[in-house]
A and B are shown apart, each in its own frame.
Chain A
């Protein structure tokens, strides 16, 4: 009789790939988010004003957004493993080389261009595409774990950088961050594999299908809109519906990342510490929102409904923020918006993979992510401009908050049952729609 040890199945290899991408994302995003820690010491040493050093960071945001589709295309064409490995080497080396900064142009080139471009390699849009190859039934859950690197990077790496800076100096701190980024290289080398077939496995660790008919009963069946190139996807409605709502996602999250604390202090009259506490609480809820969205999507289905619900909830959060004129309004907003913050990228990535397949997913995700970044950058500018004109954040927050209604409608109107591969197995012929 076989022993218990022998009958237990090993952990599916895809989870190691997921853990590796989580760690890579964690150190890569954490190192980038730590830039704010270096602003004061570097400005003090070189006599730069805040605008000068921040321009280098702003250049980085732009370059990062613009380079995503190109890295997505490399990911699709090469499989991703080599691209991520090379990106980690460049990212870690360039981060360490920031220790040699001697001029603002060096910083602008190294951080604004090299680091920001290299970060597009292991970006969540690409690693989510990798997860989509390894998982089908538990795709959204895997993507949600992968996406939680966004929150973890800020929560752990940024405080670490602050204390490192206090214990040493900014040059040593940059060097140490570069080494930490490079420490993810062995993980990437040993665990990253492009497809389950590379290890003789099937997605989700499922057993080999017995015949062709059983294959069609799995989520892996081909949807009617599965594409070979990204151009084909942009001739169909769902990608525009998702990109449009993703644009609003960027609009409504970036504006809060930048303006929430000034709003809480100046418009609601709370202290800086309280404002930061509320913001930190909101970021903490991100992880639960992302994981919850992924698990619910896999268990219940109806990803577009969850996506629409997340946008609608965020819209209600904005409404509360603007109408409840007290610290309570801030807390309620943080509770509602915190859950939806990273839930939307998880659901969008998962739905994109379900509708368009994985062949061109890196490029498609890169392009939709670019929409997200453009929305974010535009909203930050708009909010700053309107604040200067009106002296209040009420109008800009009301404008971006109002966009969440069409975003929710746009997400809800996606014909998921008709186009998602997930539903093709249950209804072999084209479904009647939603």
Chain B
């Protein structure tokens, strides 16, 4: 019984399901594993890059607003 419990690692990554996912992805991509690794690796690492790009694009807007926020806080402190 304990081996049955532990065989599933206590997480949702069930070995049976992992095998099935791999078969499905093999079917979809049909190429060697490196192609999938490259695509998924790109997706994973592009997430922070995307966020950084958005942040940098907003620099001008932020610069225009943040002094106003600071001013509001200063007034608050004076009160």
Contacts and interface: CB of A to CB of B under 8 A. Distances in A.
A23 B51 contact: yes
A187 interface: yes
A158 B79 CA distance: 54
A33 B47 contact: no
Given A10-B65, A163-B33, A184-B48, A258 B5 contact: yes
Interface string B36-52: 11001101110110011
Nearest to B69: A200
Contact of A187 (B6, B48, B62): B48
Contacts of B18: 36-37, 158, 162
Interface stretch (A89-97, A224-232, A275-283, A315-323): A275-283
A276 B1 contact: no
B10 A23 contact: no
Of the candidates A164, A200, A254, A380, the one having the most CB atoms from chain B within 10 angstroms of its own CB is: A200
A5 B58 CA distance: 10
B48 A54 contact: no
Contacts of B40: 156, 159-160, 163
Contact of B10 (A61, A277, A280, A387): A61
| Chain A facing B: main interface SS | helix
Given A184-B48, A273-B20, A380 B5 contact: yes
Contacts of A262: 4
Closest 7 CB pairs of A and B: A208-B72, A54-B6, A276-B20, A10-B61, A167-B33, A61-B10, A36-B13
Given A54-B7, A58-B6, A200-B69, A273 B12 contact: no
Given A156-B44, A160-B37, A163-B36, A37 B13 contact: yes
A154 B12 contact: yes
A275 B12 CA distance: 14
Contact of A19 (B2, B45, B51, B61): B51
Interface of B: 1-23, 25, 32-34, 36-37, 40-41, 43-45, 47-48, 51-52, 54-55, 58, 60-62, 64-66, 69-70, 72-73, 75-76, 79
A9 B52 CA distance: 18
Nearest to B21: A159
Contacts of A385: 1
Interface residues of A, number: 77
A34 interface: yes
A23 B48 contact: yes
B32 to A, nearest CB: 7
Contacts of B22: 159, 162-163, 166
Given A50-B3, A201-B69, A384-B2, A283 B12 contact: yes
Contacts of A50: 3, 6-7
Contacts of B54: 11
Of the candidates A54, A180, A187, A277, the one having the most CB atoms from chain B within 10 angstroms of its own CB is: A54
A296 interface: no
Given A163-B33, A186-B48, A258-B10, A6 B17 contact: no
Contacts of B55: 16, 191
A26 B41 CA distance: 13
A165 to B, nearest CB: 8
A26 B8 CA distance: 20
A42 B18 CA distance: 16
A61 B8 CA distance: 12
Contact of A277 (B15, B20, B44, B75): B20
Contacts of A60: 10
Contacts of A399: none
Given A34-B13, A208-B69, A276-B20, A156 B2 contact: no
Contact of B8 (A5, A51, A258): A258
A110 B32 CA distance: 32
B21 A280 contact: yes
A305 interface: no
A13 B69 CA distance: 13
Given A5-B60, A384-B4, A167 B13 contact: no
Contact of A272 (B7, B11, B16): B16
A216 interface: no
A128 interface: no
A23 B47 contact: yes
